[in-house]
Amino acid sequence: MSGTSAWHAFTALLRRDLVLAFRRRTEMFQPLIFLLVVVSLFPLGVGPSPQLLASIAPGVIWIAALLATVLSLDTLFRSDFEDGTLEQFVVSGHPLTAIAFAKILAHWMVAGVPLVLMTPLLSLWMNLSVDGMVVMLVTLVLGTPVLSLVGSIGGALTVSLKRGGQLLSLLVFPLYVPLLIVATNAVSAAVAGLPYTGQLGLMVAGLIAALTLAPFATAAALKLSLE
C-alpha cells in the first residue's frame, strides 16, 4: 500500500466523518450543551461569590470538558461497526492505523474544538482572570486531543459490546486523571501568579506520546474487537 493511497484514504474518511457529523447536528451539539449546562449550574449551586467561582473554575471547566468528551466517545466507532463499514475498513487493505487516526481527528474536530472555542465564555462565567483564561485555553488546546486519542482506545475495545458505554467510562477515566490534575494545576498556578510552564511541558509531552502511540493501540483494539 503506497503512502499516496493511504493519504487519500485518510482524507476521504476524515471528510466523510465530518459530513456525517454535520448531518447529525443533534449528536454534534450534545457534548457542547452538556458542557454549558454543567458549568452554568455550578454558580447556582455553590453561590455567586466571585472569589469562590474563580478558585473552582479550573476544576469545574476541565471536569465538564472531560465528561462531555466521554459522552461522545461511544459513537466514535459504533455506527460503522453496526452497519459493517468497520469490517470493510479492515479488509480494504488500507492501513488501519491511518483509518483510526482519521476517525480520531474527526472526533476531536467535532467534539473537542467547540469545547475549546467556548473557553472564553465559560471562563468569564466562572469569573476566571485573564491570565487564567489564557492558560485554560492553552490547556484545552493541548488536552482535548489527548482525550480523543486515549478515549479512542477504549471506544475500540468496547465497540462490539451492546452496553459498552459504561465499561468505556471505567476504562478511560483512570487514564484521564493525570491529565486533569496537571491541567487544573497549570491554570491554578497562572491565577496565583506562579510558574506554570512545567505543567504545560508535561501536557505537550503527553500529547506527543498520545499522537505517537494511540492510533496504533486503537487499530490493534479494533482488530481484537472484530475477531
Q: Give the model confidence (pLDDT) of 197-223 as tens digits.
A: 999 999 999 999 999 999 999 999 988
pTM score: 0.90
SS3 (DSSP) at 78:
helix
Cα(182)–Cα(138) distance, rounded to whole angstroms? 12
CB 146 within 8 A of CB 207: yes
157 contacts: CB under 8 Å, gap ≥ 6: 168, 171, 221, 224, 225
25 or 49: whose pLDDT is higher?
Answer: 49
Q: Which of 58-72, 150-164, 167-181 has the lowest mean pLDDT?
A: 150-164
Q: What is the mean pLDDT of residues 148-164?
A: 86
Count of alpha carbons within 13 angstroms of residue 207, beta-carbon side: 16
Grid cell listed for 118: 467556548
Residue 182 pLDDT > 90, yes or no? yes
Task: Please write the tens of the pLDDT for every residue from 93-139.
Answer: 778 898 899 999 999 999 899 999 998 898 888 889 999 999 999 99
pLDDT value of position 3 = 56
Residue 1 pLDDT > 60, yes or no? no
Task: Please write the tens of the pLDDT for every residue from 3-12.
Answer: 566 778 788 8
Residue 145 pLDDT > 90, yes or no? yes
